[in-house]
Amino acid sequence: MEFITKPSGQGHISFPGNIISSTSNNNNNLQISSCLTISSISSEPRVHPTPSRYENQKRRDWNTFCQYLRNHRPPLALSLCSSANVLEFLRYLDQFGKTKVHNQTCPFFGIQNPPAPCRCPLRQAWGSLDALIGRLRAAYEENGGLPEANPFGARAVRLFLRDVRDFQSKSRGISYEKKRKRAKQKGASIDDQSPAGATN
Chain residues that interact with Zn ion, rule: CB under 5 A: 102, 106, 108, 118, 120
Question: In terms of CB distance, is 72 or 98 closer to Zn ion?
Answer: 98
Query: How many other C-beta atoms lie within 10 A of the C-beta of residue 93?
Result: 22
Closest distance between Zn ion and the C-beta of residue 89, in Å?
A: 26
Question: In terms of CB distance, is 20 or 118 closer to Zn ion?
Answer: 118
Question: In terms of CB distance, is 14 or 112 closer to Zn ion?
Answer: 112
Closest distance between Zn ion and the C-beta of residue 127, in Å?
A: 19
**Rounded to an integer, what distance in angstroms lies between the CA atom of residue 94 and that of residue 39?**
11
Closest distance between Zn ion and the C-beta of residue 167, in Å?
A: 13
Q: Work out whether the CA dihedral 57, 59, 60, 65 comes out positive or negative.
A: positive
Closest distance between Zn ion and the C-beta of residue 82, in Å?
A: 33
Could you tell me the maximum CA-CA distance found in the chain, to the nearest angstrom? 66
First to last CA, the chain: 59
Closest distance between Zn ion and the C-beta of residue 175, in Å?
A: 19
Closest distance between Zn ion and the C-beta of residue 109, in Å?
A: 7
Question: In terms of CB distance, is 106 or 154 closer to Zn ion?
Answer: 106
Q: What are the residues whose beta carbons fall under 8 Å from the beta carbon of 167, sequence distance 6 or more?
A: 101
Question: In terms of CB distance, is 11 or 173 closer to Zn ion?
Answer: 173
Question: In terms of CB distance, is 58 or 123 closer to Zn ion?
Answer: 123
